Amino acid sequence: MKKVHNFNAGPCVLPQAAIDATIEALKDFNGTGMPVICVSHRSKEWDAVMDETRALWRELLDIPEDYEILFLGGGASTQFLMVAMNLLENKAAYLETGVWAKKALKEAKGIGNAVCVASSADKTYCYIPKDYEIPTDADYFHITTNNTIYGTEIKYDMDCPVNLVADMSSDIMSRPVDVRKYALIYGGAQKNVGPAGVTFVIVRKDVLGKVTRYLPTMLDYRTHIDGLSMFNTPPVFAIFVMKETLKWVKSLGGVKAMHKLNLEKAELLYNEIDRNPLFVGTAAREDRSIMNVCFVMAPGHEDLQDEFMAFAKERGMVGIKGHRSVGGFRASLYNACPKEDVQALVDCMQEFEKLHK
């Protein structure tokens, strides 16, 4: 298999250890004589997988006992609706920092009174709004901690006067998180914690059961709490890969160790973008994401974009094309992206620079 440097935004690179363990489980899962995708989700062998996966989440993020951990289908986009259905009674407040935050707000508005307290749309979401007030009469305040398309990130756990809800699809497990500051955290797994197909939800139990509207059975978090995420058949393959991915995170020293490595990778690439006269970053420096590094050709060099894309592709760079809505380049440096791959991209940029001096 040829060597490539995978910077895809998701589905993305996964740890080789998780891939290898999954290959073996596809041949024979835990001595059952069956592949993991054929084992009953009601079996004791699968119960053990679910228990271990929940335990890894609880250990790695220090999740308190009054929070439940759910593994659901439907992606984070379904959570845009589920959050509002389960938590919005009188009013919800949203911080609009990108496409996914805007979509979450749209779903909430379809349920009830949802307001945008601040937006960075005026500058194509290249920064995180700073001066805004969270209405204290809101049922919850919703944020999107990392914005994959625009390369901005909220890199701290804010103090919030109301229940704080966070979409952490693309930066979960990349840094330590004080879960106690949040009422609910959710996200798709396909960035840092597994393949596409499973969504994680971390919810404090006391925020549920407060709304007066009818909740469809499958959209009620309490259904999945009572069913231990197996009210219906769960996405078993994706959950198994998630378990192996979290085991890998733990083996490297946990989330603190991942954060240190992620900071090093991001610094390496941002330093090159800032140094290299052919490139320029697009996100405000103070809000730069350590997960998704977005950049474009510098003014006066825009005509080199296609040439650099082809040049990088020849050298094994995969997935660096920016989102279709903004163009340019994007390198996603999720947990399993090796530092060596980031160095390879930096070397590629420097080599390209030499050709155009």
Most distant CA atoms of the chain, gap in Å:
66
CA 105 to chain centre: 18
CA distance linking residue 336 with residue 327, whole number of Å: 25
248 as an active site residue: the answer is no
Catalytic residue among 155, 191, 243, 265: 191
CA 205 to chain centre: 23
Amino acid at 305: Q
Catalytic residue among 167, 171, 220, 287: 167
Query: Who contacts 191 (Cβ-Cβ below 8 Å, separation ≥6)?
Result: 9, 10, 12, 148, 169, 170, 171, 172, 291, 332, 334
Catalytic residue among 100, 171, 243, 265: 100
46 as an active site residue: the answer is no
> Could you tell me the CA-to-CA distances from 40 to 18, 20, 25, 29, 196 in Å, in that order?
21, 22, 14, 11, 21
199-204 and 184-188 strand pairing? antiparallel
Nearest residue to 335 (alpha-carbon basis) of 238, 201, 191, 195: 191
57 as an active site residue: the answer is no
> Could you tell me the CA-to-CA distances from 229 to 77, 170, 201, 220, 326 in Å, in that order?
18, 22, 10, 12, 37
CA distance linking residue 240 with residue 124, whole number of Å: 38
Question: Both tokens of residue 228?
Answer: 């231990």
Task: Give the number of other CB atoms < 10 A from CB of residue 229.
Answer: 22
Q: Which residues are catalytic?
A: 100, 167, 191
